[in-house]
Amino acid sequence: MHHFFHPSTTSLKVCGVTLESDAHQLVAEGITALGVNFWPKSKRYLPPVDAAKFLPALKEKILRVGVFVNAPTQEVLSLLKEDIIDVAQFHGDETPEYCAPFAENGHPFIRAIGVKNADSLTNIHDYQASAILLDAHAPGVYGGTGDTFDWNLARTFISKNPTLPVLLAGGITAENAAEATTLVHPAALDLASGSESTPGIKDFDKIRAIQAAISTAQ
Ligand SMILES: O=C(O)c1ccccc1N[C@@H]1O[C@H](COP(=O)(O)O)[C@@H](O)[C@H]1O
């Protein structure tokens, strides 16, 4: 599996990309992974037909993650099979039963969990996910809020599950990326709000500052 999922170092995933030019600039900046949001109600929604115009050319240059919220299985499968994305990120109410066919057919996926309290982190292995993403609990909007959660819960979860790749999300910015890396030691930091000037438009000063903070912290 891609080194993005290796829990020994902290990588960066920049989510909510809507512009082809931003995607190419993320490659040029050496970012490990990008996320494109396929949930129609997201402020960062990109229709699959538009993503299909530029994501294929980025294969092997950056890990291409598609973010879904309760999407029909066939929609996710066709983007994976057509090689438009490398990995699916399930950021809604997807159950272990929904995830099972992806695991059984060798399609890599990240299951995002909105962390409300310690109880949110039980039965995570039931999803058979390639990686787990821990985000702030966001009823109704699912993610992309810019809110943080209690990172001690993430740190404890990782120390109990050292071989499971865990991504930390929710309100990561240039100001807190170093602390997030040092305290939690996630396989990656994942962010949308903290990497943009307006929803869906990336701010490369912020992204470079986050990269520098991660490098210094580890
Ligand atoms: O960005 C969105 O609009 C979004 C909508 C629905 C589900 C997930 C979404 N984004 C993901 O949310 C986290 C945290 O975002 P933020 O940094 O707090 O803005 C991030 O992993 C995005 O992948």
Q: What is the pLDDT of residues 191-213, one digit of tens each?
A: 999 999 999 999 999 999 999 99
Any ligand 1 atom below 6 A from CB of 10 = no
Q: Which atom of ligand 1 is nearest to the CA of 92?
A: 7
Question: What separation in Å is there between the alpha carbon of 106 and the centre of ligand 1?
Answer: 25
| pLDDT top residue among 8 and 11 | 11
- Known catalytic residue at 135: yes
Any ligand 1 atom below 6 A from CB of 195 = no
Percent of the chain with pLDDT over 90: 92
Any ligand 1 atom below 6 A from CB of 115 = no
Dihedral class, residue 62 (left if φ above 0, else alpha if ψ from -120 to 50, else beta): beta
Catalytic site residue from 22, 86, 135, 190: 135
Any ligand 1 atom below 6 A from CB of 16 = yes
> Which amino acid does the sequence have at 149?
F
Query: Do 179 and 195 contact (CB within 8 A), yes or no?
Result: no
Q: What is the pLDDT of residues 59-102, one digit of tens each?
A: 999 999 999 999 999 999 999 999 999 999 999 999 999 999 99
Q: What is the pLDDT of residues 34-48, one digit of tens each?
A: 999 999 999 999 999
Query: Do 214 and 181 contact (CB within 8 A), yes or no?
Result: yes
| CB neighbour list of residue 122: distance below 8 Å, 6 or more residues apart | none
CA distance 218 to 216: 6
Residue 8: what pLDDT? Answer: 79
Q: Which residue spans within 17-144 are E strands per DSSP?
A: 33-37, 63-68, 87-90, 109-115, 131-136
Query: Do 44 and 144 contact (CB within 8 A), yes or no?
Result: yes
- Known catalytic residue at 15: yes
Q: Which atom of ligand 1 is nearest to the CA of 91?
A: 7
Any ligand 1 atom below 6 A from CB of 145 = yes
Q: Which atom of ligand 1 is nearest to the CA of 45?
A: 3
Residue nearest ligand 1's atom 5 by CA: 143
Res. 1: pLDDT tops 50? no
Query: Do 133 and 89 contact (CB within 8 A), yes or no?
Result: yes
Q: Taking the C-alpha atoms of 26, 16, 45 and 151 in order, what is their torsion angle to the nearest 10 degrees?
A: 170
Q: Name the residue of 15, 17, 31, 32 to mutate for ligand 1: max ligand atoms within 8 A of Cβ.
A: 15
Residue 6: what pLDDT? Answer: 76
Check if the interface score ipTM surpasses 0.85: yes
Q: How far is CA 217 from the centre of its chain?
A: 20
- pTM of the full structure: 0.96
Domains annotated on the chain, with CATH: 3-217 (3.20.20.70)
Question: What separation in Å is there between the alpha carbon of 141 and the centre of ligand 1?
Answer: 9
177-184 vs 204-217: helix axis angle to the nearest 10? 30
Q: What is the pLDDT of residues 108-120, one digit of tens each?
A: 999 999 999 999 9
Q: Which atom of ligand 1 is nearest to the CA of 172?
A: 17
Q: With b meaning 16 or more CB within 10 Å and e meaning fewer, what string describes 17-30?
A: bbeeebbebbeeee
CA distance 89 to 111: 6
Any ligand 1 atom below 6 A from CB of 191 = yes
Bridge partners (DSSP) listed for residue 14: 34, 191
